[in-house]
Structure formats: C-alpha cells, structure tokens
Structure 1
Amino acid sequence: MKLTACPMDCFDACKVVYKDGTCKPSDDYITNKKLCKNFAYLIQEKNIIDKNLNETLKKVANKLKEPNQKILYYKGTGNMGVMQKVPMKFFEKIGATFAVGDICCAGGEAGIEMGRKYSINPNIEDLQASEVILVWGRNFTQTSAHIYKLVKDKIFITIDPVKTPIAKKSEVFLQIPPKGDYLLAKLLQKALDNEDIDIDDLNKLNITQEQFNKTIELLTKNKVSAMIGIGAQKYKEGAIIIHEMDKVFNKLNLFDGKNRGVWYLGSGTYPFENKISVKPTKTCTYADIKFDDYDVVFIQAANPVISAPNTQYLIESLKNTFVIFMGTTANETSKYADIIIPAKTFLQKKDVRASYGHDEVTFCEVCEENDYAISEYDLTSYLFKEFGFDGLLSEDEYLDCFKTKINDKPDINFINHDTKNVELLDLKDDEFYLITSKNTDNLNSQFKYDDYAYVHPSKGFADNQLVTISSKIDSIQIKVKNDERIYSNSILIYAGNKQVNRLTSNEISDCGTNATFQDIKLTVG
C-alpha cells in the first residue's frame, strides 16, 4: 500500500491510497473516504508515452542549445505537485523569459495583499467553528466538495450571479449582477457603520431591503467565516473589488490579529523553506502572451489554446514559433508542438502535494513505473548535465524541505486603501454579461466539455437554437440552453468550453497581471 494525492487544480487536494493497481480514497478528515468523479476521469485518461524518449530528450537539449535564441517558459497548473516547478531552475540558468501573472486568481491575490500583505488561509477548524458562512462568488459545494461536507449543516449566505447549489441551501441568496461585488461591498460597509443605505443602490444590485437587512443581521449576530471565489476578480479592477470585500471582513473582525475566517486561494507552501522557488530575472505577462515574440516556447502542464483569453490571437502566434510541449496527455495545445515530452503521471513520481484550501500536506510515493515518460525533476537533471550546469539539489533534498514548518501563519495589521469607484458594465438593451463558471464534469480544460451557452428563459431563445454570440474580440456559433438560475442579462459559458475564449480579451488587470475574462459585453444574433 502506498500514499499519494490527487494532483488536480482543486481546493481539496484529496489523499489517495494505492494498492494492487487501484486508487482508493484515504480516510483522512478532508478526503473522508470519497473521491470525486473528476478523479475517476483523471485515472481513465490516455497518457502520452514515447518509446524513443532518449532521442526526444536529445532533440530538446539540442534545440535549447542553439545560439541567440529568445526562449519562453510557460507553466500551467495541470498538476499541483510542488516538483512541477523544478524546471524553473534550468530555464532561469539559460536566461529564458518566464510568463508570470495568472489566468486564474492573481488579481484577487493582489487585492488581498493590499490589505493583509499575505494570502494565507486560516485553519479549517476556524471554519468548522463558524455559525454562519458567507459564500461570495464561489460554487462551494462543487469546487470544495470535501471541505463543504465538514460544514454542510451551517447557515449559509450566498452572493453570486448564478443560483448555484449552495445558493439553494442558503438562508439568504443575493443574486447580484456580474461586477456588482464592489457596490455591494461598499453598501455592506456602510450598513456595518450604521449609515443609511440608498434603496436605488440595492435595486441596481437586484437586492430587496428585506434580503439586505437579513444579511446584516446574520453577519453581526453570529460567528462568521467567508469563502470567496475567483469570479469577483475576473475584471480589470479585480484587485480593488477583492480589497473592498476584505474591508467588509475586517469590519466583521475576521482579521483579529491573524486571518481567522476568510478563505481564498491561499499559499500552501508558505510555512516551509521552499528550495524550489525561483525569482525569474526576465518576465512577461501570462495573460497577454504573444508566443511568436520568442524563438522557442516551452509549455508545461498547460493548455492555453483552451484556457487562455483571445484564442484566435494566441493560436496564430503559436503557429509561428517552435513549441516544446510537456504534459501527461495530448490536448488542443500539443497539436501545435514540434516536440512533445511525455510527463510522468502523479502515480509515477515522487512529489509533495500542498493545498490552497487547507493546511494538509501529502508526501506522494511512486506507485507505478513508466520508462516511456519522464518526471519534471529528471528532465531538469538531464538538462543540467547536458549544459554542464551545477547547483541542482537531489530530488529528496527538495522534497524534504516540506517536512518541517519554519513559518507560522502571519500576523495581520489590516490596511484600508482608498479605491476608485468600480461601475457595473454599461449594457445596452441587446447586450449581455459573460459569466465563465466552473462545471462539475470538467476541471478547467480537462475532461468533458460543455458545448452550450446558457441564457435566461426571459430572453426568448429556444433550447438548442444555434446563435451567433459576438464580443469586440470575435464571434462564435454555439447552441443555447435556457437556465433560470442565471442572472437575467447574462450568458453563462462554462470554463473549458472550446469556444468561449475566442470572445474574451487578453487585457490585463490593473493589479496582479491577471486575465480579465468577464470584463466584456456580448451580443446575440
């Protein structure tokens, strides 16, 4: 019997017991003897192998040795193990440019750091001790299913443009328009300071006075925690929006010396001396990358053709450069690769799995052998030798640094910053907001794709009607389905849909160099 962990980009980071060729869920308090259906999809995937792996590695080394090249290192989050970052050691040595920033959560992280300095989550025990949990822009039952089960009997308040499963379980559901989070945060602050609230502002947010009063009552008369998601920060002003939300939490005394009650995507490696970490010398922004500015592009554990904004722009630039792709499975991006390096799966290599949702850390054992793929550490070791570099530690030295915690959770002295006003998108009668939520049958660009755009029944479309949806960037043809759960002036297209990012802009957020997926208006023809 061996222990490993689910490698997927998820809050729960479930532990896995491997025995007799089969993966079983651990009985630890997070995993609690159950793995999700995405894990079932993961272990059924067809993985890349290369029976001429040594020859492929020689081609990689020879290509990277060519003189006078601009090289880009582009890493995704297809695997969340800490050892995925070891190749950064090599690419920094050769002077490569690193794509930095995010297409996920960096705007929100920047907003958190404005007031708290660190994006570190509390202990799960603090969540369990809560009486009321405020779920703001987070599909809690689905994106953190295991953590949710620890607190499923609590009182919930949900704020979201979509009536998610957690919204249906909530005492109060505030179905605000997309990008309404800033105004709502301002109104909550005023109410907590006993200031009058303008009913016109509540109307803008689709909130009744009764709903608002009930929310304030629950927040002020109970022990509260907050689970915040990434939806509120998918805008140019995403950091400002999250900072204003944090001001609400500060008024609720959730930052009483330390973070005692607010969860976002926290750093799971903060307590440790992370010897893998690299501060790159040369960087470019992740979300508005132009691949053909570089002679060689090394893409690792990523599928930007689906996940990154402004798809057509990105594809055209991929066609005009030399692409080295490293991953466990073929995907839409690997189609453009000149060289493909098969990466070992999470079952085939040693690793450490930390979580951005809780404090558990799993040391992952080798469960299966595979001579036709290579781990990230072994690739890095090979390239160090090929280039005559020194300074790479042994694999175990990197792994062992996550055995001893050297940092406690940081103290918080919350700082309030004045922020510029963030307006709702100014929609014309025929325009729609875009919502890009996560779906239950896929994880970002992995697994099953949902091919539909979802619209509110009040808009008069027929199910399976083929429509043209346009933004200022591009147009797509897509079938629609009616869904009364979504905000009436919105179109929901799930993240991972193969077309949605043809509509999105590669404009960067004001802080955090994050993608601004939802800062766009749509029309339907």
Structure 2
Amino acid sequence: MEDCRCGKTLQLSGGDRYLTSGTVFTIDESGIQMSQTTACPLDCYDACRIVIDEKGAIKGDKTHPVTRGYLCPHLNHFQHNERICTPRLHGETISMDEALDILIATLRETKPDHVLYYRGSGNVALMQRVSEHFFASIKAVGTSGSLCDGAGEAGVLLGRGINHVLTPQALTQSEVVVFWGRNPHVTHSHLLPFLEGKKIIVIDPVKTAIAKKADLHIQIKPHGDLHLALLLSRFAVIEGIYDRDYLEENASGYSDFYELTQTVRIKATLEKIDVSLGQIGAVLEMIQGKKTAILVGVGVQKYRNGADVVRAIDGFGAIMGLFGKQGCGVSYMGSSLEGIENPFTPFSNRVSKPTVDFSKYNCVFVQGANPLAQMPDTIRVRESFDRAGFKVYFGLYENETSRSADLVIPAKTFLEKNDIRSSYGDYTLQEMPQMSGNEFGISEFELTRRLCEAFRIVLESEEKYLEYFRSKIEYDEGTGYRSSRPNIAYEEGFAEGEFVFMDEVDLEIDTDEGFHFITAKYPKGLNSQFHRPSGVYFHPEAGFEAGESVLLASSVGSVEMEVRHDERLRQDCLLIYSGTPEVNVLTPPLLSYEGENAVYQEFKIKVTKI
C-alpha cells in the first residue's frame, strides 16, 4: 500500500492505520481497507454520524438510529468557509512556534485577573474545553451565561430541577407533536422522519415549512407565548381535561398555579397576542387523551423574561400530565454536558458573556467564537474590543473577530484531531478519531499542553481525558449514548421530588411602537459561519418595496438594510437572520432576568424609508 504523499510502501496488518491523501484508514484482520466513522462537530441539534470513505469523501452513516445516513445542510457547507491557514501577528505570517512564544510571553507579562478567556458556547466536542484548564489554573477570568439558550435552560431547571430532552426515537410513541417556536427543517432536520403519522400543531409567528404542513398553526404575535401557555393551562382546568391524579402525586402546587393563571385577562390578552378562544379550544381538543410531545425552540426565550416563558410552557405540560410517560413531555434544548462531570479545572472568576466589557482586560483570548458579530450591541462590543490590550483569536475560520485580533492561531478541524462529541438534541455520545493530518493548525489539547508546560501546570495526557469521556459511553446496538440517559424522561420523577410551578409572573405586554423583531437561524448558515445572509425581511403588505433601502433603529443603534419580502411573516414583524452582518447593532446589552442570556428580541424596531 502506498502513501501518496511520500511514495513509501507500508507493511500493514490487521488493525493498523495509515494515511492516504491525508486521510487515516484502518485495515481489518483480512487486510481489507475499512471506512472510518466520526461525528459532525457543528453547533446544531443533529450531531450527524458520518463516514469517511476511502477517497476521503464525507457521507452519512446509514446505521445510525437518529441521523440514518442523511447529512444536514450545515455539514455540507463545512468546507466552504475561508479557513485560517497560518498563524499571523498584526497581519504578518509567522510560524506556530513563534505564535505560541508570543502568547506565552504576553500571558507572563499580564496579571491573571487582566486576562479574559472567551470561548464559544456552541462547542459540543468535549476536548475543546481543555483550554479552560490552563486559563482557570492561572486564575484568568472566564465567562458565564449564554448567547443562545440560557434563559430557557434556567426556566427548565427552576421547574424540573434537571433538563432531560425528548429524543427523536421517543417521538415514535407520540400521537401529537407541538412545535412551539421551533423550526425543525432548519434547526433539527433529523426529526422529520420521526413525525410520520403524527398530528402536528405549530405555534409560531412565522409560517415555517412545518407550519404549512401542520394540522393547526397559531400564528401568534411575538412575545405572546407566556400568556398563551397560562391560558391553555387555565382552560384545561376549566374544561376538566387536566391530569389531576398525576398532579396530586407529582406537582402538588397546581392549585396555586391555577390561581396564577386566573390573573390573565382573557379577552384583552387574546386580542394583544392575536390568538382566538377557538384556537385554544382546538389545541386542547387535539391533545386531550393523546400522547403529546411539546418541542420548544429558543426563539420564545430571547427576552428578559425568557425563563418565565419556558417555565409557563412547562407548567402547561405538567397540568396535562405529560412528563414521565412514553411519547410525552416538554422538550427544550438539552445540555450536552448533562451527566458528564467536567474533568478540567473550573473558573473561580467569571463575567457574563453577553455583556462582557473587553476593554477591562490587557489580554483577551477568544476561542471558537465571533463576538464582534454575534454579541448584542455591536457598536459597544467593537469599541470595547478595540480598547482591549493584546487580542488573540484561536479558531478555524476568518471572521470579524479574527480580522481584528493582534495574534491569530489556526485550529485543527474535527477530522484532524481526537475528540468525543456529545449532543443537546439527544443522548448520543460519539467518538471522533483523527481522520487526517495537515501541516498547519494546532488542536486544543496541544495548545493547552504547550501553555501548561510553560507555566508548570499539571495536565493529564490526552488519552487519559479521552478515556474518561469514553467511560461515559454506553453502547446500544452499535451506537454510543451517555450512560446517564433516562429510559423515559422524568419517569423517575423530578430532581426536587416534584414539579415546581412558577408562583409569580409579570403579565405586562409591551406597547412600544415599531415592528416585532424576529431573529432566526439561516437555512444556509450557522450563526456567522458559512453563507452569510443579508437584508431585512417584511411581509409584502407591510408597506415596503422589495429592493428599497430602509433605516432600522432601536434604542442602541441603527443600520441601513435592503428590503426582502417573505409572505410567511406577520405584517407587524420583521425578520433578520442570525449571522447577517450588522444585525446586532440593533440588539440590547441586557441580560435575561434568569440564566444570564442575551435578549436579542427584547426591543421593537422602528423603520424609516430612505
């Protein structure tokens, strides 16, 4: 067998691995070349299981019970971004050794509490967290909170105590599936085959692809989800279709919760959220006595009271007795670390990620993130980043942050290193063995090893950490799962012994002028990776011509964009896809009341024709 890079003939026996065209393969006991499997590292629910064939092509693994051989569109875009190929200092190419020496020297000259470590929160490959070990060990400042799902996660934990998800396989037992602010065609496409034969209800201000096929679509006004959830609970009790036996045993505070729902003014509230009594009745009729799964998206919690929104939806699920039963439940984005104790040193000092002020630090280390595009209140973020001291970017792709950094260190792709991949859409835990090599880039572990050696910090071997994560894998018919996964979510009850209902709520509905602001995932991109969208979308009858320029303004900034039309929208809404350049000029530097989450949709937007 020849290695095409060097022309050497390799003597291979069963189990040996070799490189051809840069790709690693294994020879089985009979001497036949075997394709290798790994997992997609991208920040989405799907966690595609993939096969690298003998030509190095990426294909779906047909044996996987969730992804079933189909690769989501994001993975197909994987190799189309502008990859960082070489380290550079102030725009000039340098060697990797020079880059690491400069980083080490900078860290030695900087007081630990003036060093900020800022890592992207969407990394679900577990070894990517190893860098935290070094920065936490030198007492640098880390971050807490989330740009994505923190408010909803907080709401789930307040009610349930632990965040279990409904897996795609669990939906096979469902009779009704409710998509509440969730768009599976874009964010979780591998759910779709599991929906065959189900009744579908969609609650979403956008007429998404799943809404067009649904048995019932409630095109609710944005930020009306809290009120609708409370009204659904109230009418379920009034109509006598709630699960009293379940509540007596598992959620004894339901009477107080029902009293809370009675504070909602029915007629005025329905008018303000644009929902009818008939639609509420239709939802209750469709789910009465049926195995029902409610799948909640992150869009419903992009507000300061986002935790309450998710908590109210959870409360409705509890009223209907949906938890702990086959094919039933309420499912939000899960935690990819649930059931896996972090083996790396934790930070003792953290600041909130959505509102961090970079200018307070003499050294900023950004890993796998693009805060200059993705953080709210872009103008403030850029100004504070410019005023920061020495700025380091460690990642795969060029973006706004890498172009503004002083030192840029290229990372390795998931094919070029060893890792373990978790998921927040199911309980799979998959190995990601090294598949290929290149002459540039450095892995998270190797970077951390070099830093720890320089500062005499103890770091275990890479294999020891990998073995620890492997010990959390439980195999079932060839697929690896987290050993902590429940058989049926909440079948054993809740962390606090029973479900805890919310006991107070702010029912005010904003009356500010302007268009409701919807931020949504772009079908061809992932946050600020891959294809970047442009423009602002309105309903054709919202009063703006396609192609004309408008000035969009919030209380923190304004930006000019070109109008696009989208008939799926309500006339009182505008949509700007996540990843659109300059979108976060409009978003506020505020935190959710619970969960330290960014609140991208809190402000309404005023629109002026130019």
Aligned to 1:450: 533
- Farther off after superposition, 166-175 or 33-42: 33-42
Residue 274 of structure 1 contacts residue 402 of structure 1 at CA under 8 Å; is this kept in 2?
no
Partner SS state of residue 215, structure 1: helix
Whether contact under 8 Å (2:222, 2:273) holds in the other structure is: no
- Aligned positions of 1:14-413 closer than 5 A: 14-19=48-53, 20-27=55-62, 28-50=64-86, 52-68=95-111, 70-77=114-121, 79-194=123-238, 198-256=266-324, 260-276=328-344, 278-321=345-388, 322-390=390-458, 392-405=459-472, 407-409=484-486, 411-412=493-494, 413=498
TM-score, normalised to structure 1, is 0.96
1:158 deviates by: 0.6
Q: Work out whether 1:415 is the aligned partner of 2:496.
A: no
Distance, in Å, in 2 between the alignment partners of 1:403 and 1:386 is 29
Question: Is 27-36 or 202-211 further displaced after alignment?
Answer: 202-211
How does 1:480-519 map onto structure 2 within 5 Å?
480-519=563-602
Bigger CA drift: 91-100 or 414-423? 414-423
Farther off after superposition, 139-148 or 248-257: 248-257
Instruction: Answer whether contact 1:255 1:414 (CA < 8 A) is retained.
Output: no
Change (3 A) 1:213 1:470: same
What per-residue deviation string (whole Å, max 9, x for no partner) do you get for residues 441-494 of structure 1?
111111112211111222211001101011001111001122221122111101
- Structure-2 separation of matches of 1:125 and 1:259: 9
Q: Is the 8 A contact 2:168 2:194 kept in 1?
A: no
Residues 369-394 of structure 1 deviation map (CA, whole Å, 9 limit, x = unaligned): 1231100011111111011111x221
Q: Which has the larger radius of gyration?
A: 2
Letter in 2 for 1:164: T
Deviation at 1:21? 1.6
Q: What secondary structure, in the 3-state scheme, does the structure 1 residue paired with 2:394 have?
A: strand
**Cα distance in structure 1, aligned partners of 2:592 and 2:421:** 29
Q: Is the CA contact (8 Å cut-off) linking 1:126 and 1:261 kept in structure 2?
A: no
Do 1:237 and 1:422's aligned partners in 2 also have CA atoms closer than 8 Å? no
Worse overlay, 159-168 or 76-85: 76-85
Structure 1: how far apart are the matches of 2:56 and 2:166?
36
Which has the larger displacement, 400-409 or 79-88?
A: 400-409
Counterpart mapping for 1:416-435 below 5 A: 416-428=501-513, 431-435=514-518
User: Counterparts in 2 of 1:470-489, with a 5 A limit?
Assistant: 470-489=553-572
Q: Please tell me the root mean square deviation across aligned C-alpha atoms, in Å.
A: 1.8
Counterparts of 1:464 and 1:159 in 2: how far apart (Å)?
A: 30
- How far residue 286 of structure 1 moved from its aligned partner, in angstroms, is 0.5
- Structure 2 unaligned residues grouped into runs of 5+: 1-34, 87-93, 240-261, 473-482
Query: Contact 1:272/1:404 (CA < 8 Å) preserved in 2?
Result: no
Query: What's the secondary structure of 1:333's corresponding residue?
Result: helix
Q: Distance in 1 between matches of 2:122 and 2:412?
A: 12
Q: Percent identity?
A: 35
Cα displacement (A) at 1:407: 3.5
